[in-house]
Structure 1
Amino acid sequence: MNKKDIKYSILELAHVSKGSTYKQTLNNSLDLARLAEDKGYHRFWFAEHHNMEHIGSSATSLLMGYIADNTKKIKVGSGGIMLPNHSPLVIAEQFGTLAHLYPGRVDLGLGRAPGTDPKTARAIRSDFMQAAQSFPSEIEKIERYFSAENKTSDVRAAIAEGTNVPIYILGSSTDSAHLAAKKGLPYAFASHFATNHLHNALRIYREEFTPSEVLDKPYNLAGVNVIIAETDEKADELFTTLIRMFLGILTGERDGLKPPTAMTSELQGVLHHPQVQQMLKYSFVGSKESVKAQAKEFLDETDVDELIAVSAIYDAEDRKKSVAAFAEVIQEINKENTALEKEKTV
């Protein structure tokens, strides 16, 4: 049974709701980050997606600066920078700059997926496929640019040197688990949509983990969908927005987040479609009490160190209520675990 003090964080995609604008969406992201900071969330990460009309999280490092500049202490990061889209030197310079402006608050999560379709990936970087295959060596370049020892190199990211921005390996398959373990880096798994390999990836990471200068033991983050409302029925209604979003992914008919509706038999059928059911397997949906039970079960099964919540909720106020409630859920779980540990020592 998990007895850790679980950290809780947010992964923000800046979903654009139907009828909203990019400006309002990004303003909502800032409002959410401020609330998260107030409620004890550990970090606020932005994803990276391209050529997706209804997602506002494309210029990840710019959004990180926007959030960091308008909050006080919450960590800001990339969940993640899709490294094959970028020059490692430029990423080191961007994150080194952020590290000087917001000391101790900047995370660099790195992934190898494109975050877009193949045609757009080639438009972003013509040698994308080669860069994706070179992902481990591209990470090594960034680590070198962050190191103070790189000062004698002919190629430098001077503003990044000595900042040692913490790096996280992101993944949705077992390949990333092997890499994170080999490098002794923290590992974040995208279980909010890629559920099949979660347990195997965690096992590989823990079994193969090699202590490093940054970590002496494995550290896991896991993505989960979270929708909390006053009642289970209301949460199910809010959940219909996410169900229809995933249906759009499967059918290629992507659109902005749609308003919630009653949980009809048709939507129930979509939810029980094998692919949708699998993708949404790690979704905590319900009242606070229901989500607490779901979270405890997930933590007991996975023994992860940190949950990173994704909340695709149509209405900004409903989303803020859900985020605030999830903080209370994890705080209650941590409090109960602390009490149990104290009982053992008496």
Structure 2
Amino acid sequence: MSLKNKIPFSILELAGVVEGATPADTFRNSLDLAQKAESFGYNRFWLAEHHNMKSIASSATSVLIGHIAGGTNRIRVGSGGIMLPNHSPLIVAEQFGTLGSLYPGRIDLGLGRAPGTDQVTAHAIRSDRMQAVHKFPEEIARIQQFFSKDNSSAQVRATVAEGVEMPVYILGSSTDSAYLAAKKGLPYSFASHFAPTHLFEALEIYYNNFEPSTYLEKPYTIACINVIAADTDEEAEILSTSLIRMIFGVMTGNIDYIQKPTLMTPQLKELSENPAFERMLKYAFVGSKETVRNKTIDFLEKTGANELMVASHIYDHEDRVKSYRIFSEIMRELKRETA
């Protein structure tokens, strides 16, 4: 087993809303998960940005980051990510400069260019969004400038951000993002948990084209996976029925709350084996500790990722916490075995 001695592992939290719950319930569960993740040894707790989806409550990302960071002590908290074309770079710098001052050395700024919603909602968020999409590299540079001490003499300043430590990560699900992260010399996080098609091509582009920068000397990659871990393969399969229904809703445009799991029916099994499903959930590791461990080792050996980020769509909060605990045990055991 040729793994790196230490592979940090982190959480990507979408703040999924289960049937019968409120966003307030979801936020309490997210904080509880973050607190437990901190004790389990997770490196980061990133919040996504989505809009106009009743099943996902992570829409005001920077607000949630403050909520999570304020309720934890050590774990890094950040955006996975801020969808920059939805926002003004100045406002992003002010928000994250404030967070970075409140929680020094603990905040990450992950930036993506997707809308995180449908096109009608994206237009409602920012009517000139497509112009911002084409200016994505320039707007990242503007944010970096706002955080620079050298910006103190500029006409437009984010004074709360100047001099604040704020690591910037490029998020992506395509080869375009790989080229950009490499050119800017920034760490790169790939969304292989839902868009695995270009994972290896994107990683190869990033590694081969990486240019060292003042921010990063050598390439650093984060690869995202889905994990549903339980005591047995059979129990994990039952829990995964909530994920199957959720993905079916996304693919058919009928997004609903996360549903209570059921036994795996022939219909659900057929859905899970549909080629479109299999492509999207290629890196969904469902099963017992041993099953998830074997799939994780294989993924790490094939990708060479520096860090793993885990998403988990499970109906019951305690089942979800347990899944993350099992995964943390796997990663700590791998660390001991490769030390």
TM-score, normalised relative to structure 2: 0.99
Q: Percent identity?
A: 58
| Structure 1 segments unaligned to the other structure (5+ residues) | 339-346
Matched, 1:323 2:324: yes
Following superposition, the deviation at residue 141 of structure 1 comes to 0.2
After TM superposition, the structure 1 = structure 2 runs for residues 1-346 of structure 1, keeping only pairs within 5 Å, are 1-338=2-339
Query: What are the ranges of 5 or more consecutive residues in structure 2 without an aligned counterpart?
Result: none
Whether the aligned pair in 1 keeps the contact of 2:105 and 2:165 (CA below 8 Å) is no
Count how many residue pairs are aligned between Structure 1 and Structure 2: 338
Distance in 1, matches of 2:4 and 2:178, equals: 23
Q: Secondary structure at the match of 2:109?
A: strand
Q: Is the 8 A contact 2:104 2:165 kept in 1?
A: no
Deviation string for 1:80-112 (max 9, x for gaps)? 000000000000000000001000000000000
SS at match of 2:160: helix
Task: Indicate conservation of the 8 Å contact 2:189/2:222, yes or no.
Answer: yes
Offset, 1:3: 2.2
- Cα displacement (A) at 1:256: 0.5
Query: Structure 2 CA distance, aligned partners of 1:50 and 1:173?
Result: 21
Root-mean-square deviation over aligned CA pairs = 0.7
**Alpha-carbon displacement from aligned partner over 1:199-243 (angstroms, at most 9, x marks no partner):** 000000000001111211100001100100010000011011101
1:128-148 CA distance string (max 9 Å, x none): 000011100000000000000
The alpha carbon displacement at 1:164 in A equals: 3.3
Amino acid at match of 2:28: N
Is this contact kept in 2: 1:4–1:305, CA < 8 A?
no
Q: Which residue of 2 aligns with 1:344?
A: none
Cα distance in 2 for partners of 1:257, 1:201 equals: 31
Deviation at 1:284, TM superposition (A): 1.1
The residue that corresponds to 1:342 in the other structure is none
Counterpart contact for 1:13–1:47, Cα < 8 Å:
yes
Contact residue 10 and residue 45 of structure 2 kept, 8 A: yes
Q: Name the TM-score, length of structure 1 as normaliser.
A: 0.97
Query: Does structure 2 retain, via aligned residues, the 8 Å contact 1:170–1:187?
Result: yes
Cα distance in 1 for partners of 2:241, 2:110 equals: 30
The list of structure 1 runs, each at least 4 consecutive aligned residues, that deviate by more than 4 angstroms after superposition, is: none
Code of the residue aligned with 1:176 in structure 2: it is S
- Residues 309-332 of structure 1: CA distance to partner in whole angstroms, max 9, x if unpaired? 001000000000001111001111
State the secondary structure of the residue aligned to 1:329. Answer: helix
